[in-house]
Structure 1
Amino acid sequence: MDKILKTTDDMLDFLSTKNIKLGTYDDNKVSQFLTDNTYFFKLISYRKNFQFNNGQYYHLSFDTLVDLSNIDMRLRYMLVHFCLDIEHCIKTKLLNEITFKTEDDGYSFLAKYIASNNNPSKIKQKILTQIKRTNSKLYDKHHAQLPLWVVMECCEFGVLESILAFYLASNPNSALIKLNVNRIEAGDNNISLLSYVRNIRNKAAHNSVILNSITSKSGIILDITRANSLASELVIKAKISRQVRRKRLSISTIHDITTTLAIYDTFIESETMKKRRYKELQDFLKRAQREKELYVQNDEILSVYRYFNQITNYLIETL
């Protein structure tokens, strides 16, 4: 966007110049909406999903941008629940494995993890800082000798991800091994499939837009070899065609959401929790269709909807 848009008139002029229709809005309603609900640059980011030629967008209106922003808000709230459930589940399973199925305890394992890092003192200080910020009482009691459960309780998602990757590298028989990432792909980084969950969790928790990058026009395109086995297994079981799943999983945002759903379905054992979350997913997709006439000319968005609807139907049917 070359021109600096400072006033409502500038923003309305941008919409007009780019052929973005006002739809059911008029100038005053657009101004009021931007004042009360969101900021212009966030709202128009959804335009990237639509056809753009010769400096103009096609089949796009202000109504569509508003609808996508509302759908996106609901998506973020829903995905936070999925991610928090996964975080709790993986922490519990990891702690139980180390405690009951290995020769380590929470102290010796954590010491080995810290020592394995390129800069042990730096990673230890990072962990201590996160614990102190989260729970000062636990910090005061345990900072001299750290148990793993305190780290799990207090530290950020990225620390869990790194600890899990370290554990899986030397425990190939772990029940969590499906979260492992091919080491050639991972390179020298301690990552697991939780890295894709973290991508979604961070966007949702920080209230960042998600639906502005869900088509080949807008999203980051991945090398399809990055489509991990859990995500691939899920879409195959959902009977999504090879052509569709290759296209959808090559888009970073869709790949990460699909992986999150696959991890959820694989590792969450509570049928009650699954029913609740899958019902939320089903209700979200129903809401996404409420203004479906706004998208009839956008085959890619419709295809994304059908993709997740098919996955959701599979998840519900298999409960």
Structure 2
Amino acid sequence: MTNSSVTKLTDNEMILFFKNKNISLGLYSEKELIFFLKNNTYFFKLISYRKTFPYENNKYSNLSVDALIDMSTIDMQLRYIFLKICLDLEHSLKTQLINEITFNTDDNGYTFLNNFIDSTNNPRSTRRKLLKMVKRTDEALYEKYQENLPIWVALECSEFAWTESIIRFYIASHPTSALAKLRVRRPDGQQDITLLTYVRNIRNKSAHNSIILNRITTAVEESAEIPNASNITKTFVSKAHVSNNSSRKKLRIPVILDMTTTLAIYDNMVSSHEMKKRRYTELKQLMLRIKKNKQYYKKNNSLTSIYNYFNQLVNYLNLHS
């Protein structure tokens, strides 16, 4: 089945699209733009950023190809930084969990993992999947532990979604754990989740090189359900001196909620001062890079407001790190 709303365009049709939508070519000639699209990115990825600009009567306002290309570059740098942030956080959380099991419980690490496996809907399938990840990551570890898998080997080799599930299982029975602040209680008998769901969202986008900024202005409708920001997130935003009105509006945008929550958890749960300093410096450098071509966005109130919001967060992180 094909989607009739998405069709492959020729070079001339791409240029015509820009013209018909009132997107100026900026510093590019038609020939230069086609060359850029063939060698640096692809048409449908580039034009996705247009969604962040005002659109009325089938035309965009104050939008140029230069801005789209600039946003694609910023988006790439943002993904790289957030991937490192998520990897740092993943390491810190795994370390915290292993240390708690090792030093704060009588569990030997084998019993805990077996209990986790038994708690799943299909224990046999769960064990098989965990062992498959171990084998794919380290054949020697697989050969050594395939008969009896300890938590530290499972965590070392598991994908992030499995780490999230294991942590959720742990904090359900250890409410005083430092990790318990990640718990999100849900009503009506629904299974609790963790704030790592938000981290996973942004981690997957970053790791899979998926676009982030094309949805940066897209808020959830007032009538739609959106998870409330956690206490960690609210406290973090408040400490950065973001106004209640601004935070309420921004956190109704799912991708902003994901990024803000990830930063809040990172700042709260990563203990390495040097690790934090490196990442916060990278974020500060990115904020400065965004200002390089600020003339592209000066008439876009939504993007300007979002920049100011994140600039407050990044300034706070750098000031107290």
* Fold match (TM-score > 0.5): yes
Within a 5 Å distance, the mapping from 1:56-71 to structure 2 comes to 56-71=59-74
Instruction: Determine if contact 2:26/2:65 at 8 Å carries over to the other structure.
Output: yes
Tell me, in whole angstroms, the C-alpha distance in 2 between the residues paired with 1:24 and 1:268: 43
Partner secondary structure for residue 279 of structure 2: helix
Is 1:52 equivalent to 2:82 in the alignment?
no
Within a 5 Å distance, the mapping from 1:175-254 to structure 2 comes to 175-184=178-187, 187-188=190-191, 191-216=193-218, 219=219, 223=225, 225-254=227-256
Shift of 1:111: 0.5
Within a 5 Å distance, the mapping from 1:230-309 to structure 2 comes to 230-309=232-311
Tell me, in whole angstroms, the C-alpha distance in 2 between the residues paired with 1:302 and 1:95: 43
Tell me, in whole angstroms, the C-alpha distance in 2 between the residues paired with 1:184 and 1:91: 28
Match of 1:18 in 2: 21
The CA deviation string for residues 58-80 of structure 1, in whole angstroms up to 9 with x for no partner, is: 11110010000000011011111
Match of 1:130 in 2: 133
- The amino acid that maps onto 1:103 is D
2:177 aligned residue (174, 178, 190):
174
Q: Which runs of 5+ in 1 are unaligned?
A: none
Tell me, in whole angstroms, the C-alpha distance in 2 between the residues paired with 1:88 and 1:249: 26
Q: RMSD across aligned C-alpha pairs, in angstroms?
A: 1.6
Tell me, in whole angstroms, the C-alpha distance in 1 between the residues paired with 2:292 and 2:236: 27
Q: Please give the TM-score of this superposition, normalised by the length of structure 1.
A: 0.95
Tell me, in whole angstroms, the C-alpha distance in 2 between the residues paired with 1:102 and 1:305: 45
- The amino acid that maps onto 2:63 is L
Instruction: Determine if contact 1:24/1:63 at 8 Å carries over to the other structure.
Output: yes
Q: Which runs of 5+ in 2 are unaligned?
A: none
Instruction: Determine if contact 2:109/2:152 at 8 Å carries over to the other structure.
Output: yes
Q: Please give the TM-score of this superposition, normalised by the length of structure 2.
A: 0.95
The CA deviation string for residues 254-312 of structure 1, in whole angstroms up to 9 with x for no partner, is: 00100111011101112111111111000000001110000011101001100010011
Instruction: Determine if contact 2:220/2:226 at 8 Å carries over to the other structure.
Output: no
Match of 2:84 in 1: 81
Distance change >3 Å, CA 31–CA 220, structure 1 → 2: farther
Q: Percent of aligned pairs with the same residue?
A: 49
Partner secondary structure for residue 21 of structure 1: coil
Tell me, in whole angstroms, the C-alpha distance in 2 between the residues paired with 1:308 and 1:166: 33
| Consecutive aligned runs of 4 or more in structure 1 exceeding 4 Å deviation | 219-222
Q: Which moved more, 1:118-127 or 1:305-314?
A: 118-127
1:109 aligned residue (105, 108, 112):
112
The CA deviation string for residues 116-158 of structure 1, in whole angstroms up to 9 with x for no partner, is: 0111111111111111111111111101100001111101000
Tell me, in whole angstroms, the C-alpha distance in 1 between the residues paired with 2:317 and 2:261: 13
Partner secondary structure for residue 176 of structure 1: helix
The CA deviation string for residues 19-67 of structure 1, in whole angstroms up to 9 with x for no partner, is: 1111111101110110110011111111111111121111111001000
Shift of 1:5: 3.1
- The amino acid that maps onto 1:40 is F
Tell me, in whole angstroms, the C-alpha distance in 2 between the residues paired with 1:249 and 1:98: 34
Shift of 1:183: 3.2
Instruction: Determine if contact 1:213/1:220 at 8 Å carries over to the other structure.
Output: no
